[in-house]
Amino acid sequence: MLYREVGQFATSYAADQAIFPIRQDRFGMLVLVLVAYLAVPLVANEYWLSTIFVPFFVFSLAALGLNILTGYAGLLSLGTGGFMAVGAFTAYKLATAFPGINIVLVFVAAGIVTALVGLLFGIPSLRIKGFYLAVATLAAQFFLIWLFVRIAWFQNYSPSGVITAPPRAVFGHFFVTGPEARAAYKYWFTLTFAAVLALAAKNMVRGATGRKWMAIRDMDIAAEIIGIRPLSTKLLAFAVSSFYIGIAGALWAFIYTASVEASAFDIDRSFQILFMIIIGGLGSILGSFLGAAFIVLLPIFLNNLPNQLGLHVGVALVTNLQDMIYGALIVFFLIAEPNGLAALWRAGKEKLRLWPFPH
């Protein structure tokens, strides 16, 4: 209905393979970016920025990472939390050990270290598949968390086992961590990370790298027979995925919750991220964001629901009810749209493009 594609034709492969080949989409994306960078910080208050948007971006990154591994390369992992922890603690050690380095570099370094760890735990993926692999990744999950809990060195021997992000600024005096950090700065900081890394991910999955991954996912035998090396391809997926997750973990520890302990990255976190990509849509960059938004907003919604309805009920009751509703909703979603929100989005877009013809 909104689309008028007549007269839009590509004269180069670059144009034909652009991320948004349709003019209307390009325009929409531009608007979205402008809104995200300018409008939101102006209108949204502290609460929204720091407790909804920042975690949304952090989760989106983690989901993006897991989606690369599970959605594109078809390798199911339950170790996301563990890898986030690696990112968080690496960043902490680096930031505290070398106060001099720019925080951005610290995060990137944290990502790289996580990538290496991911590489290590990815090795079994050559031999084992499906749920065997999933369970194997649990080994990473438990081992890593145990490591950060037990080995005091990782928390600089803090008695409580809690690590607290030292104050750091970007461009000299815009503090994104520490006491005088401003919500808006945090927002822009995480938004930029999310945006840049999302673009990078999109580029990878629409290029040769992505095709390798998807080939392995769709039919590993055929993939090997056309010359794709299974091991290196899978390991690459693990590394890249872990890089994203690691940075997400670092952002979580430094920007979102200024101080954190290892248990924040337990197996429930892994499942949470997994939910995001399933509900958002496997093998879809957009899906990672949609899923993250859903999982971030749902609890907040459920929390405020009783007050909205003016009910006054015990905390325990509320949490239990939340668990139930949460679980029920998950199941409901899987039944309603197994291919996730991204699929809904795609279908809706197709409807608009074909309007008034049926899809």
Partner 1 sequence: MLSGDGVLLKVEGVALAFGGVTALSDVSFDIRRGEIRAIIGPNGAGKSSMLNVINGFYRPHSGRITYKGRTVGHMRPHQAAKAGIARTFQNIALFKGMTTLDNIMTGRLLKMRGNFLLDALHVGPAQREEAAHRAVAERIIEFLEIQAVRKVPVGRLPYGLQKRVELGRALAAEPDLLLLDEPMAGMNFEEKEDMSRFILDVNEEFGTTIALIEHDMGVVMDLSSRIVVLDYGRKIADGTPEEVRHDQAVIDAYLGVAHDDERGAWG
Partner 2 sequence: MHIFYAILIGPFVTMAKEPAFLVEVLIGGLLTGVMYSLVALGFVLIYKASGVFNYAQGTMVLFAALTFVGMLEAGLPAWLSLIAVIVVMIALACAVERMVLRPLVNQSQIILFMSTLGISYFLVGLGQLLWGGDVHPLDIGIPSGPLTVHGILINQLDLYAAVVAGTLVAALALFFQKTAVGRALRAVADDHQAAMSVGIPLKQIWILIWAIAGLVALAAGIMWGASLGVQFSLAEVALKALPVLILGGFTSIPGAIVGGLIVGAAEKLGEVFWGPVIGSGVEDWFAYLLALIFLLFRPQGLFGERIIERV
Partner 3 sequence: MDSGLPRVGSAPEGTRSSGDDTIPKLLLHHARVRPNRPAMREKRLGIWHSWTWREVESEIRRIASALSALGFQRGDRLAVIGDNRPLLYWSMVAAQALGGAPVPLHQDAGADEIADALARADVRFVVAEDQEQVDKLIRVREWYPCLEQILYTDPRGLRTYRQPFLHELAAVVRKAAEGEGRNADFLTAEIARGSGADPAGIYFTSGTNRPPKAVVLSFDNVLATSRAAVAFEELTEREDVLAYLPMACIGDHLISIGQAYCTGFCVNCPESRTTVMADLREIGPTYFLAPPRIWDNMRSTVTLRMEDAGPFKRWLYGLFMRLAERVDRRILDAEHGGAGRRLCCWFGERMVYGPLKNALGMSRVRLAYTWGEAISPGTFDFIRSLGINIKQIYGPTEGALFVTVQSDREASAEAVGRPLPGVALRIGDEGEVLFRGAGAFQEYCKDPTATLAAKTADGWIHSGDAGFVDTHGDLHIVDRVEEAGHLTDGTVFAPMQIENRFRAAGPIREILIFGHGREYVAAFVTIDGLVVGHWAERQGLPYTNYRELAQGPEVRDLVRQTIEAVNREMAQDAMLARVQVRRFLVLEKEFDPDDGELTRSRKLRRQFIAAQYAALVDMLYADEMRGEIDVPVAEKEGGATMRRTKFTVVEAAIFRARQGDAETVSRAVATPG
Q: Does 350 bind partner 3 (CB under 8 A)?
A: no
Footprint (CB under 8 A) of partner 2, residues 113-172? 124, 127-132, 134-136, 138-139, 142-143, 145-146, 149-151
Distance CA 120, CA 103 (A): 26
Q: Does 226 bind partner 2 (CB under 8 A)?
A: no
Give the gyration radius of the chain's Cα atoms. Answer: 21
Q: Does 214 bind partner 2 (CB under 8 A)?
A: no
Of the pair 1, 221, the CB lying nearest partner 3 is at 1
Distance CA 145, CA 157 (A): 16
Beta strands in 180-269 (DSSP E): 259-261
| Cα within 13 Å of Cα(290), Cβ side | 19
358 makes contact, choosing from partner 1, partner 3, partner 2, none, with CB < 5 to 8 Å by partner type, with: partner 3
127 makes contact, choosing from partner 1, partner 3, partner 2, none, with CB < 5 to 8 Å by partner type, with: partner 2
Distance CA 10, CA 16 (A): 5
CB 276 within 8 A of CB 294: yes
Distance CA 195, CA 251 (A): 14
Footprint (CB under 8 A) of partner 3, residues 80-139? none
Amino acid identity, position 272: Q
Quick note: the x/- pattern for partner 3 over 152-191, rule CB under 8 A, is ----------------------------------------
Of the pair 32, 222, the CB lying nearest partner 1 is at 222
- Shortest distance in whole angstroms from residue 21 CB to partner 3: 11
Distance CA 315, CA 85 (A): 29
Q: Does 314 bind partner 3 (CB under 8 A)?
A: no
Q: Does 302 bind partner 2 (CB under 8 A)?
A: no
Distances (CA, A) of 88 to 8, 84, 249, 330: 46, 6, 5, 28
Applying CB under 8 A, the residues found at the interface with partner 2 are 70, 76, 124, 127-132, 134-136, 138-139, 142-143, 145-146, 149-151, 221-222, 225, 267, 271, 274-275, 278, 282, 316-317, 319-331, 334-335, 338
